[in-house]
Chains A and B, each alone.
Chain A
Amino acid sequence: MGIIRTSKLIYEYIRRDEEGNPEGITRAVNDVDLDIKPGEFVAILGHNGSGKSTLAKHINAILHPTEGTVWVDGMDTTDEENVWDIRQRAGMVFQNPDNQIIGQVVEEDVGFGPENMGVPTKEIWERVEESLKAVGMYEYRKYSPNKLSGGQKQRVSIAGVLAMHPKCIILDEPTAMLDPNGRKEVIRAVRALNQVEGVTVLLITHYMEEVIHADRVIVMDQGRIELQGTPREVFSQVDRLKSLRLDVPQVTLLAYELKKAGVALPDGILTTQELVKALGDFAYASH
Chain B
Amino acid sequence: MAIILDHVNHIYGGDTEMAVAALKDVCLTIPDGQFIGLIGHTGSGKSTLVQHLNGLLKPTGGAIYYNGRDIHDEDYNKKELRSKVGLVFQYPEHQLFEADVFSDVCFGPKNLGLTKKEAELRAYQALRQVGIEKEYFYQSPFDLSGGQKRRVAIAGVLAMQPEVLVLDEPTAGLDPKGRDEILDQVAKLKEETGITVILVSHSMEDVAKYVDRIIVMNHGSVMFDDVPREVFCHYRELEQVGLAAPQVTYIMHELRNAGLNVDPEATTLEEAKAEILKALGKR
A interface residues with partner B (beta carbon < 8 Å): 15, 18, 46-50, 95, 149-151, 173, 176-183, 206, 208-209, 242, 245-247, 249-251, 253-254, 257-258, 261-263, 272-273, 275-276, 279-280, 282-283, 286
Contact = CB atoms under 8 A, between A and B. Distances in A.
Nearest to B140: A18
A178 B42 contact: yes
B242 interface: yes
Interface string B163-181: 0000000001111111100
Given A179-B42, A179-B242, A251-B251, A280 B258 contact: yes
Contact of B175 (A18, A47, A181, A275): A47
A183 B248 CA distance: 18
25 contacts: A48-B173, A48-B174, A48-B178, A49-B146, A95-B173, A149-B43, A176-B173, A177-B172, A179-B40, A180-B242, A181-B242, A181-B244, A206-B173, A206-B176, A209-B247, A245-B176, A246-B176, A250-B247, A250-B251, A251-B248, A261-B273, A262-B282, A272-B247, A272-B251, A280-B260
Interface string B236-256: 000100111011101100110
B223 interface: no
B162 to A, nearest CB: 26
Nearest to B204: A180
Given A246-B176, A262-B282, A276-B254, A182 B273 contact: no
A257 to B, nearest CB: 5
A76 to B, nearest CB: 32
Contacts of B243: 179-181
By CB atoms of chain A within 10 A, which of B242, B243, B272, B276 has the most?
B242
B238 to A, nearest CB: 9
A149 B242 CA distance: 10
Contacts of B254: 272-273, 275-276
Contacts, number: 123
Give the contact-size bracket for chain B. Answer: 35 or more
A153 to B, nearest CB: 9
B172 A176 contact: yes
B178 A47 contact: yes
Interface in B102-148: 140, 143, 145-147
Contacts of B140: 18
By CB atoms of chain B within 10 A, which of A250, A257, A280 has the most?
A250
Interface in B72-129: 99
A209 B251 CA distance: 14
B211 interface: no
Contacts of A283: 260, 280
